[in-house]
């Protein structure tokens, strides 16, 4: 059980994870998010929403049916959402799926390769969400 003083110290910034440390924990840099969102306060607000916004969950779910329209739409949404948050690795992976299913583009991946890429996206997303949860716990 935390004491009031420990909670107060955490809120003053001691022994808490910074946004830069959060991004570094999943191999990213928050500079891209700051370019888009302009302030740390907005980056903080929106990165906290990622675990519940459903965009990556929708992409992974689309892979269960392999519906090309849903795969394109959800991958395109994930690509933009992740890029705006500075999650460039997730954005790039989602972009691969979006381009694979962009209307008019020839398929270059097998269904199995697409499913493997979706598993990679899900794993990256889980790592990111775990780090965000730690960040939230340290920065209520």
pLDDT attached to residue 4: 39
Query: Could you tell me the CATH number of the domain that includes residue 52?
Result: 1.20.120
Q: Please report, rounded to a whole number, the percentage of residues in the chain having pLDDT higher than 70.
A: 90
Residue 42 lies in domain? 17-138
pLDDT for 130 equals 97
In a domain, 5, yes or no: no
More reliable by pLDDT, 47 or 8: 47
Give the other-Cβ count within 10 Å of 85's Cβ.
Answer: 24
The answer to whether residue 7 is domain-embedded is: no
Question: Residue 2 falls within a domain, yes or no?
Answer: no
Q: How many domains does one find in the chain?
A: 1
Residue 9 lies in a domain: no
Q: Is residue 76 part of a domain?
A: yes
Residue-wise pLDDT tens digits, 10-56:
445 457 999 999 999 999 999 999 999 999 999 999 999 999 999 99
Is 3 a member of any domain? Answer: no
Helices (H), 12-139: 19-25, 31-37, 40-47, 50-53, 55-65, 68-84, 88-101, 111-138
Residue 4 lies in a domain: no
CA–CA separation, 4 and 96 (whole Å): 48
Of the listed ranges 1-10, 75-84, 91-100, the one predicted with least confidence:
1-10
In the predicted structure, residue 113 carries a pLDDT above the cut 50 = yes
102 is a domain residue = yes
What does the pLDDT read at residue 5? 37
End-to-end CA distance of the chain: 15
Tell which residue, 74, 93, 73, has the closest CA to residue 83.
93
């Amino acid at each position: 059980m935390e004491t009031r003083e420990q909670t107060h110290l955490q809120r003053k910034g001691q022994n808490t994870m910074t946004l830069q440390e959060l991004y570094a924990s999943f191999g990213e840099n928050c500079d891209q998010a700051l370019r888009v969102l302009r302030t740390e306060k907005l980056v903080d607000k929106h990165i906290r929403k990622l675990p519940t916004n459903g965009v990556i969950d929708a992409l992974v779910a689309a892979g269960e049916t392999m519906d090309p329209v849903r795969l394109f739409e959800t991958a395109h949404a994930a690509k933009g959402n992740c890029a705006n948050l500075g999650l460039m690795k997730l954005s790039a992976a989602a972009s691969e799926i979006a381009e694979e299913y962009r209307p008019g583009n020839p398929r270059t991946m097998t269904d199995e390769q697409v499913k493997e890429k979706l598993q990679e996206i899900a794993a990256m997303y889980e790592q990111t969400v775990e780090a965000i949860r730690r960040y939230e716990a340290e920065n209520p």
